[in-house]
Each structure stands twice: as structure tokens, then as C-alpha cells.
Structure 1
Amino acid sequence: MQIDTLPLTAEAFAALDADDPLRAFRDEFALPEGVIYLDGNSLGAAPKAALARAQEVVSREWATDLIKSWNTAGWFELPERLGDKLAPVIGAGAGEVLVTDATGLNVFKVLAAALALRPDRKVIVMEGSNFPTDNYMAQGLVEFLGQGHQIRFAEKDDILAAIDQDVAAVCLTHVHYKTGHILDMQGITAAAHQAGALAIWDLCHSAGAMPVDLNGARADFAVGCSYKYLNGGPGGPAFLFVARRHQGEARQPLTGWWGHKAPFAFSRDYAPAPGLARFRTGTQPILSMAVAEVGLDIFARADMALIRQKSLALTSLFIRLVDERCGSFGFGLASPRDADARGSQVALTHATGYPIMKALIAHGVIGDFRAPDILRFGFTPLYTSYMDVWNAAETLYRIMASDEWKKPVYSAVDAVT
């Protein structure tokens, strides 16, 4: 597939759809008629099977079997069972991943564990333009510990230079949430280890969108969410990874009863479970975890290499179309132009990006806006078609050429952008 030379015609895009080896997966998702959904990097589309699974959990496992389902339906083991299903998608082994809690909580847990493993070091390296929750949780942890830790913020090109003998942990997002640029997981992890530091990776914008190889990169810890490319549902459970080599020593501060070595002994004092189980905290949200399993089961049948190949094609073609059709309307490109250097999203910039995105959404093309000037378009290869890309670019052109986006209704700011 020669994307750089492909004719920019509807017929050529339709032909790509006809030959797409992933095209059958699209039928497994509930996609509203007349909507082009390019926001799966924020909230993945619902698998059709999710409704039936939710109904089964509520009507049979909860309403009929009641509390027996902790044993008969395997509720208590869900964090480990889902973690083992997710592990191959992110290059982890069995027993190294838990699906549990929220991303921010998991950042707090694994960062605290990493700092405890490097007690004589006081510096955390983070990307300053990182998704804010990672920065906020690190700042809160530093303040709570009160041990003189500090965060050294560095942007993409300065990260390696920021890693020295004072660094306890490097805590970074693999794919940047705004621009989509990819950090070199293997190279940065190796540099951290050479300096004696540990490496923590946030996979929220890469898990399910591209191949990830945590063990191949020798990552120490990782976190991520299920509700973006993994299609786990709004507010779906997050996950964490602890490399097996750390599991006997690493401890986390949120010592809830699910992390106890014998939770149903109900002893007074905490004693950590062996291995990964000590990173559990309290009772988990079973309904959302059961629904998240549906998305993970889809990925068990998908080829991540094909997903990445299609992702590169979708994003590259969208950039080509915007360049050709909308080049005179003041758009810039915040994402890397080099396809291999970006995740599965395209970030455009525009001085009046917010009303433009609202106009797009009103006309059936759903992306999102990130302040101050970024229009984000997420391309989810399991259900985004090539004709979606063609029609999205055409809709953007019509909105700009007709000045549709200038209507006052599109300038009213919503609570969620």
C-alpha cells in the first residue's frame, strides 16, 4: 500500500476499505448512522456485545446469583483475569498486569513503589506537557511524602539529558495525549537503567493503538486505561504493570484489604499479598470490569501489526487530505509528519479551533478540542474506515469554505471539550 502516492479520490479510499483485513471488526461496534467517530483516543466506541454482557451481569450474576457470584462468576479474580488478557497487547507476561482502579491511582501506586526502591534518590523526571493527571499525582505524592523529592520537567528532546545519578524514576507517557508524538520507550528506559533509575510508562494513548513491548524494553512499571482504544466503556477500569523482577520487593502505599495476603482472614494488621496481588486496593467495580472484558476479548482476535499498519495509513491519508483541501484555511500540524513518530491520532492547530471542532461535531464528525488551539482526531483501526477519513476531510473543507464554523452557536464553550 503506497499511501504517499495513492490518488486522493473517493474511489481509491473505497478500494482500500474493500481490501482491509480488519474490516470485519467494524461490524462488532455500535456506530450511529451518519456519524464519523474520530474520538476513540478519548472514549472508544461500544462493542455490540457489551450490552449483552452488562445485562448478563446485572440480571443473572447480580440479581439472581447475588453474593454467590464472587465465587461462581469469578468476580474476585477479575483484576488478574483481565490483566492476563491485556498482557499480550502491551508486551507483558502472565501475572504482570492488573486491571484495577483509575489511572491516577495507579500512577500514585507505582511511582510510590519506584521511589521506595530508590530511597537515596530524590528526582522524578516527567514531561511537562504530559497529561495533567500524571503530573498532579506526582506532585501530590511528593508533597505527601515530604522527603525532599522534586520533579524535573523536560520536554521530548531534553528527556535524556535530564536523566542523571540523582534520578529515582522516569515517569513518562508513551504517546503524547495532545500531539500524538511517540517517545522512545526502549532508549529512554535503557538510559534510565544506566543511570540507576527506574522507568514508568503511561500507555493510555498507545495500548490497543500500536504494538507495545514492555518486557522487550525492560520497563519497570506501567499504567494505562481501558476506555480509549481498548473500548472498555466510559470510566472503565485502568491497569498497571509491575515487571516480575520487582514483584517480591515493590510495595505500594494504598494498603486496602484486597491487597492483603489473606483478605478473608480479616486480621487486624496489614500484610501484603505476594507478587502482583499487593497492588490491589479495595473492592473493584464489577459491572464496569465485566464490560471492559468484552473489548479485551476483541483484541485477543486482532493482529496488532495490522492495527498499526492501518493506523499509519489512516493518519497519513488524513494529513494529505487536510493539506490538499484545507491548506489555505490556517491549519497547522502539531503531530509529527513522520508517520512512524506518531501514535494513532492527528492533532491540527488553528487559532479558532474550538468553534471549528464544534461545527464538525454538529455535522457528524466527532473529534475533540484541547486548549489552547488543538483539534484532535483519533483513528481507531478496528472500526475507522478509509471512507470515514475521506468524508471527515470533506466535511472539514465544507465547514471552512462556507464559514459555517463562524456561527455564534459554535463559540459557546461546553463543560467538556
Structure 2
Amino acid sequence: MTETHAGRRSELSFDHAQTLDLSDPLSGHRDSFLGSDDPDVVAYLDGNSLGRPLKASARRVAGFIAEQWGGRLIRGWDEGWLGLPAEIGNELGRVALGAAPGQITIGDSTTVMLYKLCRAAVAARPGRTEVVLDTDNFPTDRFILEGIAAERGLTLRWITPSFDGGVTAGDLAAVLSPRTALVVISQVAYRSGYLADVPALTELAHAAGALILWDLCHSVGVLPVELDAWGVDLAVGCTYKYLNGGPGSPAFGYVRAEHQGQLVQPIQGWLGSAEPFGMGDRYQAAAGIRAYTSGTPPVIGMLAMQDMIELIGSVGIAAVRNKSVGLTEYALALYDGVLAPLGVRLSSPRHPQERGGHLTVDHSSFRDVTAALWRRGVVPDFRNPEGIRLGLSPLSTSYAEVWLGMDAIRQEIS
């Protein structure tokens, strides 16, 4: 065996994965997550669908039930619960979104938040009749916009990105016109992991006189975002992926300060009114970001994400991104070394500047392989038509898990 081949074989070994973990400055945070030492889960590679819970969150939720809900009862609303959507939103904006205070609220599902902000955006561009979106965006985004288009008599202009990529500046420029009211794109494509150029695409939309909404579901908490600096109008994201808020934890919505008061959201609930406890006869919107809330805040659903926001703040989002790039680069090296020779195809960008926090690999057997992997304690997820998506959450995923997961895929298709 030549020295080059020996070195390559060493890089693909489990020992090398363990060496990478030993040199990882963030590896100590893995013990902060529940289940990180669960022998039944050999490799959890689905953190971009549902993040592991933090041990601190388990304590927070238990303490809330016993002390605040159980002890303060309804008095808790006056003692702080009502302010949580904006309070947590401000901290999320500071730590992970590059947003000044007063522009982010938390509440509703991602679907409802998308509807509210998209519906407000198209109404704010009267006379414009088109909405731009792409065929590979997450189904919720596409379905919401189909419904709004039908409701408002609008035309959808579709971009069809490359299978292993996403929406480029050239793609967007080709469909923009004076008729464009709104553009909706995901910063990180849910299937391929393609990382869009937010500043460039935002500038193109604005040059056409349109508003743009960014879906941040697969980017918040795993890479730096600068909503204010990039001139973004609107953004929506979920909190159960890289923010580890738990199953169904509420979404966040960003409305740029200059648009507040001009964009009118369509779900006029009591909490978004100027005086909720005035019990008025007619709706009058609250000032500022609270106008984009609707109903009672999901207090328990907002608890766990606070611990992850705090952890990201202490580590720094730049360090999180560095680890994310390291994990995906390592997974790519393992793909090249052990999966590509077996006919597995890469459906994600190779360059880290064009890639978010996950990779997708395709093979005709992967639907059945995914089920087999789950049975053996290796947990990625399957995405149509034949992809395994490797979601590598930087603060809870080890390099050893990546090796074990890729080796298990190799065994299942060999």
C-alpha cells in the first residue's frame, strides 16, 4: 500500500473520527443534551428535523410547571408570560439573526406565521399580481402561497432550481418584473442543503419593487444570519430544529421595523390588539411587532428554546458555523471514500460556502435502507424521491456519530 493510500485509509477510519472529536473545541457541549449517551441511539443524524433536548430545558420545564404554573397560576400572565413572545424574540434576534429589538415575535406554527406575513406582504403591493417561489421549496411554503394566490387572484411564477442546488441570482432575475409583489425563498434548501445568497437575492427583489420573505427554518441556529444588515423585509423560521425547542415549538416571525404599521396581518386576534384587556368592540392593531401576534402565547412551547438560544449566545454563532462546516466536510469525505464507490449520489453542493448544515445522498434503495437504519439505532431521515438527509447539529453531534452513521449506510447497501 502506498503512503498516499495509507493516509487516505486512515482518514476514513473510526480512529480518525475519535481524533477529530478530541480536537473539537465544542465537543464538551454534547454532554449538555439529553440522550447523548443513549446506547439505543448509535448516531442521531436528524437534528435538522428535531433537535435533542437540553438537560437545562428539562429542568426549566419541570420548574415552570411546579413553581410558575402550579404556584402563580393565572397571576403568571401579569408577571411576565404575556411579554415572552417579544422578549425571547429580541434575544433570538441578538444571538442568531442579526436583528435589533422590536422586530421578532414568537408564536403560532410555522404555517400560520408564513400565512400571516405572506398575506400581509401581497396586500401591501396593490396592483402587483405575481408571487415568485421555487418548485423545491418546502411543501408548506408552496401550499400556503397556492392558497393565497387563489384567494387574491394572483399568479405564481415558479423557479425550478437544480436538483443538487437552489435558487441563484440568475434564476430570480429571470422571473422578476414590475408585476412581482412578493418573493419567498428558503435560505437553506430543505432537501439539498443549498445556501442561498440572501443579500444578492434581496437586492434583486427590491430593485424590482417587490418584498421578499426568507424561510429560515434550516438556517437559524446553525449559521450566521444578518437580517437587518441584509435589508430583509420579512422572515419566518421554526424553533424545533437547531434551536431545540421541542416537537411543535412555536415559530418566529421577523418584520423589519420600517414595514411595521404598513403591513397588516390578516388574523386579528385579541393579543395583537392595542388594548387586549380593554375587550373593545372593534379591532385596533397594537403598535410595533405585537401587531403581528394573534392569540394567547404558547408559553410552555416557548420554554425550551430559551436554553438553546442561551447556549448559542455563549458559544457564538460563528463557532457553531465552523463546527457545522467541519461536520459536513467530514461527511462529504466519508461519502467520497465509502459511499460513492457503491453508486450513492451526492445531491448537495460540494463547496461549504454554498451549503448549510446538512447533506443529502441518494440511492434507489434508500427508502428501505432508512427503515433498517432506524432499527439499528442510526437515525437520519428520508426525503423523496430517494434521499437520505444527514442533519448534523453542531453542538450535539459528534464526528464519531457521523462515521458510525455513514458506515451503517455502507453496510446496508453493500
- Alpha-carbon distance, 1:181 to partner: 0.7
Structure 2 match to 1:84: 90
Instruction: Using the TM superposition, give the Cα deviation of residue 325 of structure 1 relative to its aligned residue in structure 2, in angstroms.
Output: 1.4
1:196: Cα distance to partner? 0.6
How far residue 336 of structure 1 moved from its aligned partner, in angstroms, is: 0.8
Answer yes or no: is the 8 Å Cα contact 1:237–1:292 preserved in 2: no
Contact 1:344 1:378 in 2 (8 A): yes
Contact 1:103 1:238 in 2 (8 A): yes
Query: How far did 1:272 drift?
Result: 0.3
Q: Verify: 1:63 aligned to 2:70, yes or no.
A: yes
Cα distance, 1:203 vs structure 2: 0.1
2-side partners of 1:327 and 1:188: how far apart? 33
1:204 to 192, 217, 236: 217
Match of 1:108 among 102, 109, 115: 115
State the 1:143 CA deviation: 2.0
| 2:376 matches 1:358 | no
2:294 equivalent among 278, 281, 286: 281
Q: How far is the alpha carbon of 1:248 from its aligned partner?
A: 2.6
Alignment pair present for 1:311 and 2:318: no
Measured in 1, the distance between the counterparts of 2:307 and 2:48 equals 18
Secondary structure at the counterpart of residue 21 of structure 1: coil
Match of 1:405 in 2: none
SS of 2:306 mapped into structure 1: helix
2:48 alignment partner, SS class: coil
Pair 1:378–1:77, CA change in 2 (3 A): same
Greater displacement, 16-25 / 178-187: 16-25
1:229 equivalenced with 2:229 (yes/no):
no
SS of the residue 1:375 aligns to: strand
- 1:18 maps to which residue? 22
Q: Name 1:96's counterpart in structure 2.
A: 103
| Superposed displacement of residue 81, structure 1 | 0.9
After the TM superposition, which of the residue ranges 113-122 and 342-351 deviates more from structure 2?
Answer: 113-122
1:124–1:170 Cα contact (<8 Å) kept = yes
Q: CA deviation at 1:366?
A: 0.5
| Residue of 245, 269, 273 corresponding to 1:260 | 273
Deviation (angstroms), 1:61 = 1.2
* Partner amino acid, structure 1, of 2:18: A
Alignment of 1:158-173 (within 5 A): 158-173=171-186
Letter in 1 for 2:120: A
- Among 149, 153, 157, which residue is 2:154 paired with? 149
Amino acid at match of 1:268: D
Matched, 1:122 2:158: no
Please state whether the residue corresponding to 1:376 is helix, strand or coil: strand
Contact 1:44 1:228 in 2 (8 A): yes
**Per-residue Cα deviation, 1:129-162 (whole angstroms, up to 9, x for no partner):** 11010111111122223xx211111132422211
Matched, 1:322 2:335: yes
Residue in structure 2 matched with residue 343 of structure 1 by the alignment: 356
Query: Does the CA contact (< 8 Å) of 2:312 and 2:320 recur in 1?
Result: no
The residue type paired with residue 24 of structure 2 is: D
Q: Distance in 2 between matches of 1:301 and 1:133?
A: 33
Partner Cα distance (2:21, 2:293) in 1 = 43
Aligned residue number for residue 4 of structure 2: none
Aligned to 1:375: 388
CA distance in 1, matches of 2:332, 2:213: 31
- 2-structure distance, mates of 1:131, 1:327: 27
Q: Is the 8 A contact 1:259 1:279 kept in 2?
A: yes
Shift of residue 329 of structure 1?
2.3
Question: How far apart are residue 182 of structure 1 and its match?
Answer: 1.3
> Which TM-score applies when normalising by structure 1?
0.92
TM-score normalised by L of structure 2? 0.92
In 2, Cα distance between equivalents of 1:329 and 1:191: 42
Alignment correspondent of 2:345: 332
d(CA) in 2 for partners of 1:116, 1:293: 33
* Whole-angstrom distance in 2 between the partners of 1:310 and 1:66: 42
Higher deviation after alignment, 8-17 or 120-129: 8-17
CA RMSD of aligned residues (A): 1.5
Contact 1:29 1:48 in 2 (8 A): yes
Are the aligned partners of 1:259 and 1:281 in contact in 2 as well (CA < 8 Å)?
yes
Q: Which one-letter code corresponds to 2:264 in the other structure?
A: R
- For residues 349 and 397 of structure 1, the distance between their equivalents in structure 2, rounded to whole angstroms, comes to 13
Which one of 41, 49, 52 corresponds to residue 56 of structure 2? Answer: 49
Question: Does the residue aligned with 1:170 lie in a helix, a strand or coil?
Answer: strand
Does 1:27 find its partner at 2:23?
Answer: no
Does the 8 Å CA contact 1:335/1:347 hold for their aligned counterparts?
A: yes
Structure 1: which 4+ aligned runs deviate by more than 6 Å? none
> Which residue of structure 1 aligns with residue 201 of structure 2?
188
- Give the drift of 1:224: 0.3
Q: For the residues of structure 2 that align with 1:208 and 1:82, how far apart are their CA atoms?
A: 14
Asked whether the equivalents of residues 60 and 304 of structure 2 are also in contact (C-alpha less than 8 Å), the reply is yes
Q: Any conservation in 1 of the 2:222–2:320 contact (CA below 8 Å)? A: yes
More deviation, 157-166/342-351: 157-166
CA distance in 2, matches of 1:29, 1:87: 23
The one-letter code of the counterpart of 1:350 is H
Alignment partner for residue 408 of structure 2, among 392, 395, 406?
A: 395
- Three-state SS of the structure 1 residue aligned to 2:11 is coil
CA contact (8 A) 1:85 1:300 kept: no
Q: Is the 8 A contact 1:127 1:159 kept in 2?
A: no
Q: C-alpha offsets along residues 9-44 of structure 1, whole Å, 9 cap, x if unaligned?
A: 333322221221211211111125232111011001
